[in-house]
Amino acid sequence: MSRRGVGPGRDKFGVRRASDRCRLRDVILLAVALYMGFLVFLWVQDLADPFRHTTPPRPPSPVQVRGEVLLAQPPRHGPLGNGPAAVAELQRIPRTQVAPSAERPPPPPPPPPPPPPLTGAQMSLRGSDGKTRRTAVTPGTVEGAAAWVAALGGLASTELRRQLDPEGADAFGLKELEVGTCPDRPVEWLPPRPPSTTSAVFRERAPDRPTMVWYEHLSKAGGTSFCKLARTNMPRKEVPSYYCMPSEPGMPDARVGQWTNAKLENYFAEKAHRLVSNEWEAFPRERLQLQPTSEVDANTRDLHLVFVSNIREPLNRLLSAYNFWGVLHNPSSVKPTFDKWVKNMENRAARDERSPRGMGKGPGTGQDFIAQVGRPNFACWKFSSGKMPIDLDADQPESLRRLSEAVQTAARFDLVVPMELLSDHTEPLAELLGWTDFSQTHVVPSGKVVNNDAKDKLSPENYDLLWNQNRYDMLLYTWLKAVFLIRVNCGL
């Protein structure tokens, strides 16, 4: 067994003396104290200058300028703000200013709050330029769309005109929709689509599932062209020969708009016709009872209808009606001027409205259908089942109520095609009815095809007067055009 070495600071057994061990411990404690003091010194320095060891803040982003936050949301379309107001709001944002180098940079601004979540299913859509856009378009309800449109109808005529102008407030966003740009927010004025089962059964020609197309023909709005397309794409035996209107003995036009639903069902059972057109009567609202409201209803063996119509810019349609009925088919040797003819039609329609035997007053009534074609707000009269008053201002609450009814009825239609867009957008008809031949999309029953531009042909004073008288038709037309375009361009 070896012994420990003996040396300075050790006893005879080789163990360090106690005094030496105490000195080593003191050295260690002193080193720890110095280290702690150094840490305290650094801490005091940080308190004096909090930005000494931090990264300088980045320049503010476009939505964070001088502490102000701009939510990255598009302006809301509607009567309460859009267009120039949105531009003014954007111009209100102050420009970014760089702080002088001699000054200490300010602390970074707080992050902007997130925009409110959009409701509705997200979907990828392509605009006309081929670029995919993310959007969250949420169709509303039929009642909600009617209330939204009626709220616009309550505006003064000049303000309503500004709201409908694509270069003005553009309440429906037509300027963007016409170039294929889809909205990226909920759209309160967009009603849901009707169930697609009935149109699918019509295309498949299921023998045990009776289906028929009900075409609501607005005179001088493309009805003859639609009937021509029907005869081109359907077997002749399935389309009535007299302008697609069903006939009865001694009556080439049996006035299908006055029929009951039971009579229409019997007619379908007896004839091979799968399409009928109603031109002269206002739309009979009871026909909507033959539209299934769910997939379960669509599976029954009852007759179901697919509702289709055309609509046209109202003042152009009115000018076309004058050229057709007031000039071309007027037996008088002296043709009335446009102003005189319009006033005459308005007076005749007013008399018919007061008569218990007037249009829409029951079977066998109403013979002066030409007066309705030339009356103010003819399209609203059609879709309100003949209840739209002649004078909108005589009882505005009643007029707005009938406007709401017209919107609710048109919202239930499977397809309403603006006549001006049919040639460029035949795909909705093709998808709905299975038609493939669209070589003739614009034909007339007599005379030449004429593009009647009321704004070009009428004096500014006369145009403004007619716009005010027909402002509900202008509103209905603009809304239906927007609905058509948003469904075509945005896949809704």
Average of pLDDT values for 346-364?
A: 86
Average of pLDDT values for 116-123?
A: 34
Q: How confident is the model at residue 23 (pLDDT cuts 50, 70, 90)?
A: confident
Q: b/e string for 9-28 if b means 16 or more Cβ within 10 A?
A: eeeeeeeeeeeeeeeeeeee
- The model's pLDDT over 428-450, given as tens digits with 9 standing for 90+, comes to 999 999 999 998 776 656 555 56
Between 93 and 199, where is the model more confident? 199
Does the pLDDT of residue 97 top 80, yes or no? no
Contact 221, 312 (CB under 8 A): yes
Q: In what order do the strands lie in the sheet with 275-278?
A: 275-278, 211-216, 304-311, 415-418
Average of pLDDT values for 394-399?
A: 95
Task: Please provide the DSSP assignment of 282-304 as one string.
Answer: PP-GGGGGGS-SSHHHHTSSS-E
Q: What angle do CA 433, 434, 438 make, to 5 degrees?
A: 95
Of 61-70, 84-93, 202-211, which has the strongest mean pLDDT?
Answer: 202-211
Of 48-62, 128-142, 296-310, 324-338, which has the strongest mean pLDDT?
Answer: 324-338
Average of pLDDT values for 336-363?
A: 90
- Lowest mean pLDDT across 58-62, 252-256, 313-317: 58-62
Residue 305 pLDDT: 97
Contact 399, 392 (CB under 8 A): yes
Residue 71 pLDDT: 35
Between 77 and 153, where is the model more confident? 153
Mean pLDDT across the chain, nearest whole number? 81
- End-to-end Cα separation, the chain, in angstroms: 99
Between the alpha carbon of residue 304 and those of residues 195, 205, 260, the distances in Å are 11, 13, 14
- The model's pLDDT over 449-476, given as tens digits with 9 standing for 90+, comes to 566 899 999 999 999 999 999 999 999 9
Q: How confident is the model at residue 20 (pLDDT cuts 50, 70, 90)?
A: low
d(CA 75, CA 82) in angstroms, rounded, equals: 6
Helix (H, G, I), strand (E, B) or coil at 334: coil
Between 280 and 113, where is the model more confident? 280
Which contiguous run of DSSP H or E holds residue 152? helix 142-153
